Amino acid sequence: MPPLRYEVAETGRGRFRFGSEAGGALVSLDLPGRWRPRGDETPARPAWARWLRSYLAGGSPSFPGRWRLPGDSGFFRRVYRCVAAVPGGRTLSYAGVARRCGSPGAARAVGNAMARNPLPLIVPCHRVVAESGLGGYGGGLDFKRALLAAEKAHAYARSPAKRPAVKSK
């Protein structure tokens, strides 16, 4: 694999690192505290940094550039596609993802795929939860809770049908 170009964006949640191929497609997104500086990082492209800050505040999940999942097993690719389709403000269990991608009973393998997800936020693994609670998250459970809360608030604000009716006296 050719060397990647690394770009860093500062946010209120810490420093995120984008890794892109020579052709410009994003292939990795490293969460704060999950990477070590290499010394060759540059500031993130303005559009990517704006998207990241907006996303962390509950804004659009649509990444403003090309992205590509690096080579992995066919199963992992199916899992990543299923997870990428989970809308903001919603969650799905590991078992639910396994069923959706045609492998019922593979909940543990879905968990392994989530742990190796090279593009968290774009393939929103924070939306995948355990049947008994949040499950894990590479960025930490507090960050997972914050992402889910921001997405839920944003989805709620966008949808008038989901707002509670105002009762008159």
Q: CA 17, CA 143: separation in Å to the nearest integer?
A: 16
Could you tell me whether strands 26-30 and 14-20 are parallel, antiparallel, or unpaired per DSSP bridges? antiparallel
- Fill in the DSSP letter of residue 73: -
Contacts of 153 (CB under 8 A, 6+ apart): 58
Q: Among all chains, which residue has been given the structure tokens 């393939």?
A: 123
- The H-or-E segment that residue 42 falls in is strand 42-43
Q: Which of 4, 123, 125, 128 is catalytic?
A: 125
Annotated active-site residue 125? The verdict is yes
Tokens of residue 23, six digits: 């052709």
Torsion angle of the four alpha carbons 80, 86, 91, 96, in this order, in degrees rounded to the nearest 10: -60
Write out the catalytic residue numbers: 125
